[in-house]
Amino acid sequence: MDFAVSPAKNASLKDKMSALSIHETDIEEKFVRSSGNGGQKVNKTASCVYLKHIPTGTEVKCMKDRSQSINRFLARRLLTEKIERLLKGEDSAIERKFQKIRKQKSRRKKRALEGNSEH
């Protein structure tokens, strides 16, 4: 299945889905009307994509873009990230990225508190 993104991104998504054993037949897909920015266009078209991975029960809703095809791609990418975090837990790349950000924020907070106590 190809979406309105570069062939490299399509291939990358397919590889990641196959690596996590996510099959298109296991995904329930619905299209609903978006809300928010986009004006009359989003009020008329069902560009918001809702995906449910039946084996894990994981659900994702994506309405970042006005294009349904791009939202379908983004929703699948979100779904694979969510399932990867579910399956791999602490070992997933996304989880490591979040932990790195948490550490940076805690360091900044600590420095800010130390700076405030000196005055």
Instruction: Confirm whether pTM is higher than 0.75.
Output: no
Give the 3-state secondary structure of residue 54: coil
Contacts of 17 (CB under 8 A, 6+ apart): 23, 76, 80
Query: pLDDT, tens digit, for every residue of 28-62?
Result: 999 988 777 767 776 777 888 999 999 989 999 99
CATH class, range 7-89: alpha beta
Contact 72, 46 (CB under 8 A): no
**What pLDDT shows up at residue 119?**
58
Q: Hey, what are 37's tokens? A: 């920015």
Domain residue limits, the chain: 7-89
29: β partners: 51
Contacts of 46 (CB under 8 A, 6+ apart): 31, 32, 33, 34, 68
Query: pLDDT, tens digit, for every residue of 71-108?
Result: 999 999 999 988 888 887 767 677 788 889 999 999 99
